[in-house]
Amino acid sequence: MATTVEEHAAGGLQIHPMDQFVVKPLFGHGPIEWYTPTNVTLWMAIAVLCVVALMVLSTRRRAIVPSRGQSVAELFYGFIHKMVEDVAGHEGLKFFPYVMTVFLFIFMSNMLGLIPMSFSTTSHIAVTAVLAMMVFLTVTLVGFYRKGTGFLSMFWVSSAPLILRPILALIELISYFVRPLSHSIRLGGNLMAGHAVIKVFAGFAGAMGVASVVPIAAITAIYGLELLVAAVQAYVFTILTCVYLRDAVGEAHH
């Protein structure tokens, strides 16, 4: 790493683990306006196509005895349906298409992001923040719409001693507003960290000659872990959405 100083002067490391996240226009080199088709557009479109292929094309035959694709689609349907019903309650089923949308988008994006040379849209804070803010706003608005000011009783823990309640209310309030932050950072951070680690190891592999078998083996192992993380983070984001929705639509549980 003799060239570190020069590299710093150029504003980066020798290994560029963050290059993979750069948003580029698909055509030309113009500035990125809000409507410019970029690699974000491309990979989101691919995610949409995957969702359509899985949920629409494979269920085209409406078979009583399902084909392989149809049983996967039914598996997802049953899995999310049960999750919404169990966690958010029966009232939460009104939000089932919404939760399903969020889950399928995140799941497909995570999986697509693991294809080498691809671009993982869910590793961007902009994307996850919008997803999390949508959940936050939905929960808040639906909560106030359905329960009125009774929604605020969520912060007033009536089972605690009276003297502790204001303190608990403050803590609950802060944790309520931290929710969208942690909700989005968890997903984006996990994805970003995993991809960056793989990239760093790949940089080692490029620099180590014959000994690069070691980083390549490590990349393989981390790749397996990342597959797990991609699925688990989609699951976690969805189940937390359901947990937050329960506050808005479920019975008071304090």
Partner 1 sequence: MEGDIAEMGKFIGAGLATMGLGGAGIGVGHIAGNFLSGALRNPSAAPGQMANLFVGIAFAEALGIFSFLIALLLMFAV
Partner 2 sequence: MATETHGEAEAAAGMPQLDFATWPNQIFWLLVTLVVIYLVLSRIALPRIGAVLADRKSTITNDLAAAEELKQKAVTAEKAYQDALANARTEAAKIVAQAKTAIQKDLDVAIAKADVEISAKAAESEKTIAAIRDGAAAAVSEVARDVAAELVAVLGGGADATAVKAAVTARLKG
Applying CB under 8 A, which residues contact partner 1?
A: 8, 18, 83, 86-87, 182, 185-186, 189-190, 192-193, 232, 235-236, 239-240, 243
Determine if 47 is a binding residue for partner 2 (CB under 8 A): yes
Q: How far is the CB of 101 from partner 2 (least distance, A)?
A: 5
The interface partner of residue 251, options being partner 2, partner 1, none and the CB cut-off 5 to 8 Å by kind, is none
Is the CB of 63 or the CB of 217 nearer to partner 2? 63
* 25 strand-pairing partners: 38
CA dist 237 and 172 (Å) reads 20
CA dist 32 and 26 (Å) reads 10
Q: How far is the CB of 217 from partner 1 (least distance, A)?
A: 23
Write the burial class of residue 8 (CB in 10 Å: 0-12 exposed, 13-18 middle, 19+ buried): exposed
The interface partner of residue 191, options being partner 2, partner 1, none and the CB cut-off 5 to 8 Å by kind, is none
Is the CB of 71 or the CB of 212 nearer to partner 2? 71
Q: How far is the CB of 192 from partner 1 (least distance, A)?
A: 8
CA dist 229 and 223 (Å) reads 10
Q: How far is the CB of 103 from partner 2 (least distance, A)?
A: 10
CA dist 16 and 70 (Å) reads 41
- Binding positions for partner 2, 131-170, rule CB under 8 A: 131, 134
Is the separation of the CB atoms in 113 and 120 below 8 Å?
yes
Is the separation of the CB atoms in 199 and 71 below 8 Å?
no
The interface partner of residue 235, options being partner 2, partner 1, none and the CB cut-off 5 to 8 Å by kind, is partner 1
Is the CB of 55 or the CB of 139 nearer to partner 1? 139
CA–chain centroid gap for 136, Å, is: 14
- Candidates 133, 219, 111, 146; CA nearest to 177 is 133
- Candidates 184, 200, 42; CA nearest to 118 is 42
Determine if 229 is a binding residue for partner 2 (CB under 8 A): no
Determine if 232 is a binding residue for partner 2 (CB under 8 A): no
CA dist 15 and 25 (Å) reads 23
Positions touching partner 2 (CB under 8 A) are: 10-12, 16, 18-19, 21-24, 29, 31-36, 38, 40-41, 44-45, 47-48, 51-52, 55-56, 59, 62-64, 66, 70, 73-74, 77-78, 96-98, 100-102, 104-105, 121, 123-127, 130-131, 134, 188, 192
